[in-house]
């Protein structure tokens, strides 16, 4: 067994790995960017190494620096977590070449299964069902149109080298093909350093079900139950659960067996996840993630296992120790708590200082996080604050405990996805397990979600730049719900009193003055307009990247573009004026 492990990651997963190391009596080494020097994973580790300033490409994605840190500190193995370099075959090979153990599968398995087109070929060889898709990477919009003519729409353009919703665009018709391909390539290049994309027929009434596989280096391969991850927006998961509700025993067994065949076909070792789309009793291979998943805690809860510890044991050459815990007991449901503003259904990244973070306590509740009160959610990285997991002897109990936990989870200082998660778990469709991957975006209306009190805003102009100033209200009657503080917006009545004002009326009723501003801190990655250009309401004028996601900035009304104050590569503060439209009909 290893005596010291370096964790090549940050945030919640780094803390999670550190704690499993501690349970095994293994020392941990954290690495961090200069910006992350005060982060929780740095404080939790036995040692920490500063990888320097700059963007993630210069620290968390710097293979040479990370391996040097491992060698300098005497670490014998590296755990990559999820994201960053976790599915980078070159990193895994460099770790092995340096005489260290990589806590994950072989570089060859990562390369094969991480390249999505090659993974589809493996699925065919392993006799795993597939949805229609392109046989190789595409070169442009013409490939999308030809595929659509043959297989129909909608179509997904997907990054060959990554996952997590990045580098993915839904194409509803051929007129959207060119922009979808360009955006997917751009985002895939930024996130994974590889702009290759491929196509897959999008199943409109499917569920997203994944199977946890585990294999040791001695030839033992098993599957450890399944999870449902259908509740997504913008291809980002919001709620996950295990076991996937409502599946027949025959379907579960068939999917599990297919996942094992796939893993065995590439000589897999370690933890991996095989993702499927499920329609009725049919299932289709989606992709394989050659790492631990964000949602792994729900599997841990229903199988009474520590999957991180098992990863470490397998990497050290030990035999699988979980083969007697493959049958799930009870149910577990997880809500991802992201620093995002969901008011009006926006789901915009909302980095900032967490003034207070108090997780709920109670039977069956678990909170995995990378933050504590006083920590800051930085705008440079993923917005995940933590994951609230609820376990119960049955799904109904787990669901009730999750709702109770969400109500009592206290996060002050940043906006979170708690209100959205509460709306989902209270929805009759979710409670009855009636949902697909499109359910959240097509059925659940977040437009009426109130703005959190900590995000009530005043806007000021200083030196020609616009800034958004948080305003904290002491107004009696603010809704707290025992958790994040929401202040119901109010408006003056004709009689001089106040009444609640909903966000939908607010957003649609206020006439635009034509100003177009950055909705959050981020980097401009696309400018679609120039001064003097005529635009229509809803036209995408700019694309801003924040927390690894692209955010289109649309024209609030029809008009003529004024001076453009942004170029590609500019870093913008929230509220910065990008352009001023001269509105139609204006004098």
Asked whether residue 523 carries a pLDDT value surpassing 60, the answer given is: yes
Of 168, 3, 197, 7, whose CA–CA distance to 83 is shortest?
7
Beta bridge partners of 572: 522
More confident of the two residues 52 and 510: 52
pLDDT of residue 460: 47
Strand, coil or helix: what is 95? helix
3-state secondary structure 535-585: ECCCCEEEEEEECCEEEEEECCCCEEECCCCCCCCCEECCCCEEEEEEECC
The total number of residues written for the chain in this structure: 587
Is it true that the peptide bond before 154 is cis, omega within 30 degrees of 0? yes
**Calpha distance 266→255 (Å, rounded):** 17
Q: Is the pLDDT at 441 greater than 70, yes or no?
A: yes
Position 452 scores a pLDDT of 53
pLDDT-derived band at 493 (thresholds 50, 70, 90) equals very low
pLDDT, greater one: 453 or 12:
12
Supply the pLDDT for residue 586. 66
Q: In this predicted structure, what is the pLDDT of residue 494?
A: 37
Cα radius of gyration rounded to whole Å, the chain? 24
In this prediction, residues 398-422 reach a mean pLDDT of 97
436: which residues sit within 8 A by CB, 6+ positions away?
204, 205, 206, 207, 230
Please say whether the beta carbons of 406 and 425 come within 8 A: yes
Q: What is the DSSP letter of 36?
A: G
Confidence band (pLDDT; 50, 70, 90) for 32? very high
pLDDT attached to residue 419: 95
Residue 475 gets the label, from left (phi > 0), alpha (psi -120 to 50) or beta, of beta
Instruction: Looking at 409-463, list the stretches that DSSP marks H as alpha helix, in order from N- to C-terminal side.
Output: 418-426, 428-431, 439-443
**Residue 498 pLDDT greater than 50, yes or no:** no
Confidence at residue 480, expressed as pLDDT on a 0 to 100 scale: 33
Per residue in 328-384, pLDDT (tens digit) is: 999 999 999 999 988 877 788 889 999 999 999 999 999 999 999 999 999 889 999
Cβ within 8 Å of residue 292, ≥6 positions away: 13, 81, 82, 86, 271, 307, 308, 311
Query: Which tens digits make up the pLDDT trace of 41-54?
Result: 999 999 999 999 98
Calculate mean pLDDT across residues 247-251. Answer: 97
Is the distance from CB of 43 to CB of 28 less than 8 angstroms?
no
Q: How confident is the model at residue 177 (pLDDT cuts 50, 70, 90)?
A: very high
Coil, strand or helix at 462: strand
Cβ distance 401 to 391 under 8 Å?
yes
Instruction: Please give the torsion angle defined by the CA atoms of residues 360, 365, 371 and 375, in that order, rounded to the nearest 10 degrees.
Output: 0
Highest mean pLDDT among 24-28, 339-343, 496-500: 24-28
472 pLDDT band, cuts 50/70/90, is very low
SS3 11: helix
Give me the residues paired with residue 198 across strands. Answer: 158
Quote the mean pLDDT of the chain.
87
Give residues with Cβ within 8 angstroms of 428, minimum separation 6. none
User: Residue 506: pLDDT above 50?
Assistant: no
232 token code pair: 């997504």
Quote the pLDDT of residue 548: 60
What confidence score (pLDDT) does residue 491 get? 37
| Segment among 156-170, 288-302, 348-362, 472-486 with least mean pLDDT | 472-486
Give dist(CA 119, CA 111) in Å, integer. Answer: 9
CA 398 to chain centre: 23
pLDDT tier, 462 (very low <50, low <70, confident <90, very high otherwise)? very low
pLDDT, tens digit, 9 for 90 and up, residues 113-172:
988 888 989 999 999 999 888 888 898 999 999 999 998 899 999 888 776 677 889 899
CA dist 532 → 63, 464, 561, 566 (Å): 46, 21, 5, 15
pTM for the complete prediction?
0.78
- DSSP letter at 356 equals E
């Amino acid at each position: 067994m290893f005596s010291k492990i370096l964790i090549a990651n940050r945030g919640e997963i780094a803390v999670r790995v550190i704690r499993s190391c501690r349970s095994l009596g293994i020392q941990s080494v954290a690495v961090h960017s200069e910006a992350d020097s005060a982060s929780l994973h740095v404080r939790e580790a036995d040692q920490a190494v500063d990888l320097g300033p700059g963007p993630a490409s210069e620290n968390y994605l710097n293979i040479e620096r990370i391996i040097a840190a491992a060698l300098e500190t005497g670490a014998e193995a590296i755990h990559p977590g999820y994201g960053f370099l976790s599915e980078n075959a070159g990193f895994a090979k460099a770790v092995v070449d340096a005489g260290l153990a990589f806590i994950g599968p072989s570089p060859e398995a990562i390369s094969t299964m991480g390249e999505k087109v090659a993974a589809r070929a493996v699925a065919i060889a392993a006799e795993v069902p597939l949805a229609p898709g392109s046989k190789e990477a595409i070169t442009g919009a013409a490939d999308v149109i030809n595929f659509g003519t043959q297989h129909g729409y909608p179509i997904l353009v997907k990054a060959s080298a990554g996952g997590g919703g990045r580098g993915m665009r839904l194409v509803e018709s051929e007129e959207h093909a060119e922009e979808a391909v360009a955006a997917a390539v751009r985002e895939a290049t930024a996130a994974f350093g590889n702009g290759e994309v491929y196509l897959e027929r999008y199943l409109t009434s499917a569920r997203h079900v994944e199977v946890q596989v585990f294999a040791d280096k001695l030839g033992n391969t098993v599957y450890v139950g399944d999870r449902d991850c259908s509740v997504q927006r913008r291809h980002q998961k919001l709620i996950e659960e295990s076991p996937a509700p409502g599946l027949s025993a025959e379907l579960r067994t068939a999917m599990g067996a297919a996942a094992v065949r796939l893993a065995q076909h590439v000589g897999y070792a370690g933890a991996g996840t095989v993702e499927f789309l499920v329609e009725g009793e049919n299932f289709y291979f989606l992709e394989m993630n050659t790492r631990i998943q964000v949602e792994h805690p729900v599997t841990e809860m229903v199988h009474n296992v520590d999957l991180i510890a098992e990863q470490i044991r397998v990497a050290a050459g030990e035999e699988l120790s979980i083969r007697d815990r493959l049958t799930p007991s009870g149910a577990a449901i997880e809500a991802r708590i992201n620093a995002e503003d969901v008011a009006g259904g926006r789901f915009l990244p909302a980095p900032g200082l967490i003034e207070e973070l108090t997780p709920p306590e109670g039977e069956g509740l678990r909170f995995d996080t990378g933050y504590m009160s006083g920590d800051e959610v930085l705008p440079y990285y993923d917005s995940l604050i933590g994951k609230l997991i609820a376990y119960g002897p049955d799904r109904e109990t787990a669901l009730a405990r999750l709702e109770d936990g969400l109500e009592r989870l206290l996060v002050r200082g940043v906006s979170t996805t708690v209100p959205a998660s509460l709306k989902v778990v209270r929805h009759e469709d979710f409670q009855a397990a009636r949902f697909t991957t499109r359910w959240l975006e097509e059925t659940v209306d977040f437009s009426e979600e109130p703005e959190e009190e900590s995000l009530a805003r005043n806007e000021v102009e200083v030196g020609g730049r616009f800034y958004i100033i948080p305003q904290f209200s002491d107004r009696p009657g603010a809704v707290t719900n025992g958790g994040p503080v929401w202040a119901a917006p109010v408006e003056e009545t004709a009689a001089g009193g106040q009444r609640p004002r909903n966000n939908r009326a607010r957003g649609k009723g206020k006439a635009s003055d034509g100003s177009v501003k950055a909705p959050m801190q981020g980097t401009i990655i696309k400018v679609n307009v120039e001064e003097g250009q005529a635009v229509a309401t809803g036209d995408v004028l700019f694309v801003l990247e924040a927390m690894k996601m692209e955010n289109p900035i649309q024209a609030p009304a029809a008009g003529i573009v004024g001076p453009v104050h942004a170029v590609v590569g500019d870093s913008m503060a929230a509220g910065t004026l990008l352009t001023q439209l001269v509105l139609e009909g204006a004098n």
